[in-house]
Amino acid sequence: MDVQGQREDNKMTQEGLFKVPNPHISALKEDFLYHITIGNKTHDLKDMFHDVKFVCFGGSQSRMRKFAEYMVEALNHKLPAGQGLVDIAHESDRYVLYKVGPVLSVSHGMGIPSLSIIFHEVLKLLFHAECSDVTFFRLGTSGGLGLEPGSVVITEEALDGLLQPYLEVPVMGEIKRHPSKLSKELAEELVSIAPKGFQTLIGKTMCTDDFYEGQARLDGAFCDHTEGEKMEFLRRMHQQGIRNIEMESLCFAAYSYRAGIKSAVVCVTLLDRLKGDQISTPHDVMAVWEKRPQQLIATYIRNKLGIEK
């Protein structure tokens, strides 16, 4: 079953507040967001999160803490005297959640199932906090296709492992297909403000359920394809405009679109898959590359908030 038109219904109330797409949520006596250990009865979510305008997701817990620390400096944010950043989800070991002014920094783990869980709960958090005009970003790493390692790809369209532009979700014995659309306007704006020190481009992204066979690698524990078959597939992908491969963009794009939220996926490439499968770049070089999506998103947020460097 194809699910179309959900964004056009939009998920806003007459006051412009975010409305969670599930009508059953409002009927709950209490909505406890289990994986981040926050509830709408045990916490004053409106007081805590009402000012949130930007939600930034990334896979690694440590990376998203570092991003939150980076945003403290980027936004000239003053923490309370004698206090540091606090992981709001610290009672859970599943995800981390940091707040820096109007910015949330959230880890989503690895792969679509892990991202799906936190995405549901963040949407409900925004609903209970009565947030409005929120923009989502996914910041991550990826394998590139035909690009110099260290390049930054802004996803124009997320495709699955069969190169199809939708997320398939089994629900009650049937498959529902959700379009994986992202904001063209936001992608173009990000490219326009990108730093000049490295390549930043818009391209398609293949999102897989697996790091090894699903990405046509030859170095996993299992492999039933030849090097020639691998290269033929990767070249075909490149000809179709695919410029990187990762494991979360499809769900991120489809869920953002379902919720009516403007969003972008910004990933740095760690290698060119047309030249190999192994990531052999020194750690200190990768650490520099991994900051590039953060720098770009921070610039965008500063611009929107009117904060000069």
Nearest-CA neighbor of 107 among 154, 52, 65, 69?
65
Inside any domain, residue 207: yes
Residue 131 lies in a domain: yes
Question: Domain for residue 209, yes or no?
Answer: yes
Residue 8 pLDDT level (bands cut at 50, 70, 90): very low
> How many structural domains compose the chain?
1
Q: Give the model confidence (pLDDT) of 226-245 as tens digits.
A: 999 999 999 999 999 999 99
Token code pair at residue 29: 């006596």
In a domain, 19, yes or no: yes
| Mean of pLDDT values over 149-165 | 97
Q: Is the pLDDT of residue 82 over 70?
A: no
* Residue 80 or 263, more confident: 263
User: CA end-to-end span of the chain, whole Å?
Assistant: 48
Of the pLDDT bands very low, low, confident and very high (cuts 50, 70, 90), residue 13 is very low
Which amino acid makes up residue 195? P
pLDDT digits (tens, 9 = 90+) for 34-74: 999 999 998 999 999 999 999 999 999 999 999 999 999 99
CATH classification at residue 191: 3.40.50.1580
Angle of helix 112-128 versus helix 249-259 axis, rounded to 10: 30
For residue 161, being part of any structural domain is answered with yes
Amino acid 80: pLDDT: 75
For tokens 């000069």, the residue is: 308
pLDDT of residue 3: 66
Residues 132-146 have pLDDT tens digits of: 999 999 999 999 999
* E strands present in the chain: 32-33, 38-39, 54-58, 97-100, 103-107, 135-144, 152-159, 166-171, 174-179, 200-207, 242-246, 262-272
With respect to residue 1, please indicate whether it lies within any of the assigned structural domains.
no
Q: What is the rounded distance in angstroms from the CA atom of residue 133 to the CA atom of residue 8?
A: 16
pLDDT at 95: 97
Range of the domain at 182: 6-305
Question: Does a structural domain hold residue 203?
Answer: yes
CA atoms of 66 and 291, how far apart (whole Å): 9
**176 Cβ contact list (under 8 Å, min separation 6):** 1, 2, 3, 168, 169, 170
